[in-house]
Amino acid sequence: MCRPEHFDVTYAINPWMDPSMPVDTALAVAQWETLRSTYESLGHQVDLIRPVEGLPDMVYAANGGVVFDGKAIAASFTFAERQPEGAAYHAWFDEAGFRPTIQAGAQNEGEGDFLVVGRLILAGTGFRTSVAAHHEVREFFGAPVISLELVDPRFYHLDTAMAALDDRTIAYYPPAFSGASNAVLRQLFPDAIIATDADASVLGLNAVSDGHNVVLTDRAVALHERLRERGFNPVGVDLSELLKGGGSVKCCTLEVRA
Ligand code: ARG
């Protein structure tokens, strides 16, 4: 995770961002601290990357790369505003001892667009991460990668429209995906939880699950109920300031799979 000391909305690279809206950085830090202590109280270890001044989106650590089987690929960002983050995350992976650690050659926004479900990697494209990056990730990790086309600009990263809940269960919002991708998802995940418009529009799917506890925004009321029905334990947090940048729980969290 990356403490949002320098968080602000000074440019707009997704439809959630409005630079004319004031941001309360101290409140963002306080909300983020609650998320961090939520993970720790659930028994998870949280490692931190040093925030860099002038990189207001660096709090969205999910975008820093993908770590799988002890190997790491650092992001190659779409927009100039975020490009310097790639090198910072690359250095972090390298220092943490992931071997090999490489920098993505193709446009790749890390776990924003790559969700690990068991041994399968689901991959989004359409707004940020390229199909070339899906191939690169498959070759690097030697794991199957399923390409999914995102079609609604509000759901510009895969993790805004889908959550990985355990090794075989996902939740997603069908209108965010193309017709063909919906057909693929129905075939692969017939038991998936389907999110409502209301859940999706508060980024309720931008969640982190350890297979039982699912940390997500407290605003996604119906999704909390559906998770409970399926035996998961939803844990609600308020990340309203971070939503102004177009992110919620998952965006703030890069999962490190050693
Ligand atoms: N403002 C950031 C951007 O547009 C938000 C990133 C959200 N991260 C995520 N994993 N969806 O790039």
**pLDDT band for position 190 (cuts 50, 70, 90):** very high
Q: Which CATH architecture has domain 25-252?
A: 5-stranded Propeller (3.75)
The domain limits of the chain are 25-252
> How does the average pLDDT of the chain come out, rounded?
98
pLDDT tens readout for residues 11-43: 999 999 999 999 999 999 999 999 999 999 999
Active-site positions read 157, 251
User: Is 145 within 8 Å of 188 (Cβ atoms)?
Assistant: no
Q: CB within 8 A of 111, min separation 6: which ones? A: 62, 63, 64, 65, 66, 159, 250, 254, 255
Residue labelled with tokens 């989004």: 124
CA dist., res. 116 & res. 205, Å (int): 15
CA of 62 from ligand 1 middle (Å) equals: 8
User: Is 236 within 8 Å of 218 (Cβ atoms)?
Assistant: yes
User: Is 207 within 8 Å of 251 (Cβ atoms)?
Assistant: no
Could you identify the atom of ligand 1 that is nearest to the CA of residue 82? Answer: 12
Residue labelled with tokens 């070339």: 132
Mutate which of 1, 35, 57 for ligand 1? The one with the most ligand atoms within 8 Å of its CB, which is 57
pLDDT tens readout for residues 55-66: 999 999 999 999
Could you identify the atom of ligand 1 that is nearest to the CA of residue 13? Answer: 4
Burial state string for 103-114 with b = 16 or more CB within 10 A and e = fewer than 16: bbeebbbbbbbb
Could you identify the atom of ligand 1 that is nearest to the CA of residue 63? Answer: 10
Kindly tell me if the per-residue pLDDT of 187 is higher than 90.
yes
Residues with CB under 6 A from ligand 1: 13-14, 17, 57, 60, 62-63, 82, 112, 157, 159-160, 245-247, 251
Q: pTM score, two decimals?
A: 0.98
